[in-house]
A and B are shown apart, each in its own frame.
Chain A
């Protein structure tokens, strides 16, 4: 067991100052903490909402981090060499804003516009503010992102910056926290420090472990972390703990800080029912006066500048140096083509990284790993943490991130994905094994709601390539696209239907099959596009010509091509998708033509709960095979 009071090894001389600041500095840090308290109380009073008590428990931690421990450029919060800070307990946003106000990046008067519609100081932090890397406010997600930053710092940037994550005690009930703790110790992220602000009280009652800091310590140590218990209101102890953490090699450090919610506010400190409530307006001035009376110094200690040793990098404008090496008619699964494209992309830019969650052989990301082992992160099974790590790696434009797993398992990380959008992230998520076409493994492995999920994410580009060639283009487009991207890939081997010269754009559908006499427009993607082509063959033998469209991206959807095709085929449209009816391709098309008169859309989709079987049998059983498309076309033409 490591203990703060039994330092392991002698600290280096230069560090002595860091560990034991003089009395004057200590007083200045105490005073800074109290100023942060006052700002938090004022701001939340002005907005009549917010969480001042959650800010007060963390005031000393914030003060020591921002004015003593962390190294950063005060005027350039986004600088790649800066130490990173993640406020996982996002509801304590006012104390973060207060810290940056004291640093000088925000004016004090702005603090009073907290939570107002024209102010970027939102209820929970978002990257609308330059000093926020990832949005927080859905609890238990900050540490995973911090892991991504620390991994990037240690293994990709090989730089000196360190990463600090402040967490609440309540959020440590989230399993994602333990996923991150396991990840960080597995990868020996000694540049990472997690601070647990153990203030005993949650939103609606006590947190499960209350003030049992020893249980936190046991758990953190069992998860492989160097762990200290400190009095979270003792700036001297905090300085020493942070300093010691910097000396520990190959282990991340957890600081379990025993604190009191609402610290410094009489009758509110450590009392229940004060979560998320401003102090009573009539008491505010008296409280502030009391806190002010403890302040003895003016001005804050100056933070140290960072060590500038991050490499210069470029992650934009990645060119495809050679066209895809597929011939029409080649048979290959899009999920394999993804793995090959990724490995190729890795040669074009050395900041391309890939994360996988113990699925690298079925998802084919092992092809990338083979060629670029140093840029592959095995995240083991936890998908939530994989997405959070990806978010962290992509911050400050340090890497181009691809993270893949079975598409069904991204549902595990929906909240992280949602928060990723709020974080304005550029990560790329690739979901394989979509739909009933995976066959034998059964419904738990089949993604039938992934399009609904990713389409609902603002600014997310949703690719659904139908052959190997377009998959390669999707990978390159995703790498170059701002905002989150999702690529949906399939398990069955399908024919290459495009030539190497074909150009692909986001939001541009391909009319794969057409003639002047087309009677119906059929829109399919992935496996169902091939079913549509088979149906077209079958129908042409009966003298019925149909138009077949490959949307390529489901979001944005090429409404113009769909509408013009529909009009050219008598307003008759069939959508066919290996997905549930809700929120997928069919509804996207219905919505796209909803303001056009005389276009009728017939949806073919998977309804009910699927089961195991052979892919071909399942496509037929769930009504999305070529046979069903043929029947649907004939039905529509009969009416």
Chain B
């Protein structure tokens, strides 16, 4: 049987060739109909797609989401036409050709890039790609999950363009895959030489690709990407290699099969001239000798049955009001606890586990901890891959500042409708001595701008634990947890919430209030504790203030904010360890923007911070208790 797989008979080979040509024709037709798209990029990969989908990969045609199926990731997203070509028009229903012709029309099922709609309706697609260099990281996550968590037979295939290999994230993923011996992973480099705007640096230097992949620890083959026999053979050989991922460097030509378009510059993203399309299609058709379809082999059904929903907090947080603990440490403890509640909870970190305290999870669940080393982009992509098909509940942690490195991956995660949870520690100037490069002061702006992202900003150990459990159970694009760094130097991190307090992602908590409150102060994290200190001082001067702990910055509990503001004469102060833009202050301003008579006074970090003691910095940058007191008094004077 193995011999068959490596060397299919000549009849099968011809069918595979013919199917490649049919894919080619579909992509020309579809892009002609929509007057835009990437038929040349599609054409170069036709044989690769044909061999993968009709010979090599094992999957259930009727159940594309089955956990046992082999995975396919199209990193060169602009070729996504093929996915439809292969999956829909050839396999499922010939009628779908009509949808292909509707390509790019609004409300059609097919879009150029693999996007939301595809994920909802084209269930074959696991992660959105369509910008370069992100697919392989996600593929690594799937392969890691298959090998180490599911311990199942499914394999993972990732098709990449040559242009995208200049993205560093590809090399992060290559290093990751070889480090973890992901022998169930195959990366195919479709080396067709031409990118957007001219020849690539590596040109046809296939040898360079080979050398680089080998230097990164991959078993590497070079093939003619148009030779279906050679492709069948290398994909089979890849299954025989243990402890090494396989790279297939396929030399192809863009626009293959299209006279005068093949391998010429300036055809990127351009459809065939309409008048020529018919002639070209006829030419390609003339090479088709069969009209047989091949049926993919069924998968081996050995993935475990799992459940990742409805995870209960079996015991309330074990903290007493007044205990001192940094939220990052509380987060590490909560994750370790969560890991006992569900054995599909996994944790990723990028060589910061002793600072983010994810090492607490590692200690108790070493087999579910993935060290991603210093490569945040890849860490997020791997997390996305691990979370596909609901195989795991993934938490990934780093310094919040360094999650900016992965903004594009996070953005694409949102488009993939992934359920990953990102934990950012060391937020704000309260990081102190390490200085501005380590301080996250734009992380709220970043995560708030992600559609459907829930943004938690817990202020003590109890609410941190709740945030972790809520994040694990929340179906949202992703959850961002912003965690304070400060631990022992000040009273700023005492536990303020009773262990049995209930937390909901959409309800903020009023922590101080009286009927005579003059001003509402809204905050979260370290500055909430500054607000409480300010409230204590002000109460001695008989100026009661209301203090609100936001808990989630997005979604924001606008109703409570508005009612509190109205109860305090429309006077609101926001205070945040974040830049003024895109954070708590602006979120609150937007939430009350349709309310007359509510005035918001914002305290935030302005200007470039520097090294110093946390307590000094809070004061120098205007977000300490003293500044809140000044702001409150100033407002009351006017």
Query: Which A residues fall within an 8 A CB radius of B?
Result: 47, 49-50, 90, 115-117, 119, 122-124, 126, 128, 135-140, 170-171, 173-179, 182, 186, 202-205, 207-208, 215, 218-219, 221-224, 273, 356, 358-362, 366, 378, 380-382, 384-385, 408-409, 411-412, 414-415, 418-419, 421-422, 424, 440-445, 448-449, 452-453, 455-459, 555, 571, 580-583, 586-588, 590-591, 593-598, 600-603, 607-609, 611-614, 617-618, 621
Contact = CB atoms under 8 A, between A and B. Distances in A.
Nearest to B583: A456
Contacts of A138: 401-402, 405, 437-438
A548 to B, nearest CB: 19
Residue with the greatest number of chain A CB neighbours at <10 A, chosen from B404, B405, B433:
B405
Given A170-B373, A440-B34, A456-B582, A117 B616 contact: yes
B438 A123 contact: yes
A495 B179 CA distance: 55
B591 to A, nearest CB: 9
B449 A173 contact: no
A443 B196 contact: no
Given A137-B438, A415-B402, A449 B411 contact: yes
Nearest to B605: A458
Nearest to B105: A613
A421 B351 contact: no
A612 B374 contact: no
Contact of B611 (A115, A224, A612): A115
Contact of B586 (A412, A418, A583, A617): A583
Given A221-B215, A415-B404, 8 more contacts: A204-B353, A224-B208, A414-B408, A443-B128, A456-B583, A571-B596, A583-B586, A597-B596
Contacts of A137: 434-438
A424 B608 CA distance: 9
Contacts of A49: 433-434
A139 B557 CA distance: 37
Given A116-B612, A583-B586, A594-B589, A124 B438 contact: yes
Nearest to B353: A204
Interface string B589-611: 11011111101111000111011
B274 interface: no
Given A175-B378, A617-B106, A126 B435 contact: yes
Contacts of B214: 218, 222
Nearest to A620: B106
Given A122-B435, A140-B374, A612-B113, A178 B589 contact: no
Interface in B103-120: 104-107, 111-113, 115-117
B231 interface: no
Contact of A203 (B355, B377, B449, B570): B355
Contact of B596 (A176, A385, A555, A598): A598
Interface in B347-366: 349, 351-355, 359
B438 A444 contact: no
Given A204-B354, A449-B449, A612 B437 contact: no
B343 interface: no
Interface stretch (B46-54, B163-171, B236-244): B163-171
Residue with the greatest number of chain B CB neighbours at <10 A, chosen from A116, A175, A459, A617:
A175
Contacts of B175: 173, 208
Contact of B168 (A382, A588, A611): A382
Contacts of B198: 358, 378
B197 interface: yes
B167 A175 contact: yes
B448 A452 contact: yes
A50 B433 CA distance: 8
Contacts, number: 348
Closest 3 CB pairs of A and B: A175-B168, A137-B437, A117-B612
B601 A595 contact: yes
A614 to B, nearest CB: 7
A52 to B, nearest CB: 14
B437 A136 contact: yes
15 contacts: A124-B435, A126-B610, A137-B436, A138-B405, A175-B170, A203-B351, A203-B352, A223-B212, A415-B405, A442-B112, A601-B590, A609-B116, A609-B451, A612-B104, A613-B106
A385 B168 contact: yes
Residue with the greatest number of chain B CB neighbours at <10 A, chosen from A49, A122, A138, A173:
A173
B581 interface: yes
Nearest to A51: B434
A241 B580 CA distance: 49
A123 B611 contact: yes
Given A452-B446, A555-B581, A612-B113, A587 B168 contact: no
Given A204-B354, A609-B116, A381 B166 contact: yes
B172 interface: yes
Given A583-B445, A598-B596, A117 B130 contact: no
Contacts of A90: 437
Interface of B: 34, 36, 77, 104-107, 111-113, 115-117, 128-133, 163-164, 166-172, 175, 179, 195-198, 200-201, 208, 211-212, 214-217, 349, 351-355, 359, 371, 373-378, 401-402, 404-405, 407-408, 411-412, 414-415, 417, 433-438, 441-442, 445-446, 448-452, 554, 570, 579-583, 585-587, 589-590, 592-597, 599-602, 606-608, 610-613, 616-617, 620
Residue with the greatest number of chain A CB neighbours at <10 A, chosen from B117, B217, B374, B580:
B374
Contacts of B371: 205
B132 A590 contact: no
Given A137-B435, A178-B168, A380-B201, A591 B405 contact: no
Contacts of A612: 104, 106, 111-113, 115
B463 to A, nearest CB: 22
Nearest to A579: B449
Given A47-B433, A182-B201, A418-B401, A598 B597 contact: yes
Given A449-B449, A608-B451, A422 B116 contact: no
B375 A173 contact: yes
Given A124-B438, A182-B201, A442 B554 contact: no
Given A219-B215, A449-B449, A381 B195 contact: yes
A380 B200 contact: yes
A609 B411 contact: no
A591 B608 CA distance: 20
B180 to A, nearest CB: 10
Contact of B433 (A123, A223, A415, A608): A123
B354 A174 contact: no
Contacts of A456: 441-442, 445-446, 579, 581-583
A221 B208 CA distance: 10
Nearest to A601: B593
Contacts of A608: 451-452
B449 A453 contact: yes
Contacts of A581: 590
A366 B196 CA distance: 12
A549 B492 CA distance: 44
Contact of B106 (A215, A412, A614): A614
A152 to B, nearest CB: 20
B131 A444 contact: yes
A123 B596 contact: no
B374 A139 contact: yes
Contact of B167 (A139, A356, A381): A381
Contact of B448 (A422, A583, A596): A583
Contacts of A385: 168
Contacts of B104: 440, 612-613
A175 B587 contact: no
B453 to A, nearest CB: 10
Given A204-B351, A456-B441, A358 B586 contact: no
B412 to A, nearest CB: 6
Residue with the greatest number of chain B CB neighbours at <10 A, chosen from A171, A176, A356, A378:
A176
A242 B412 CA distance: 43
Contact of A582 (B171, B376, B449): B449
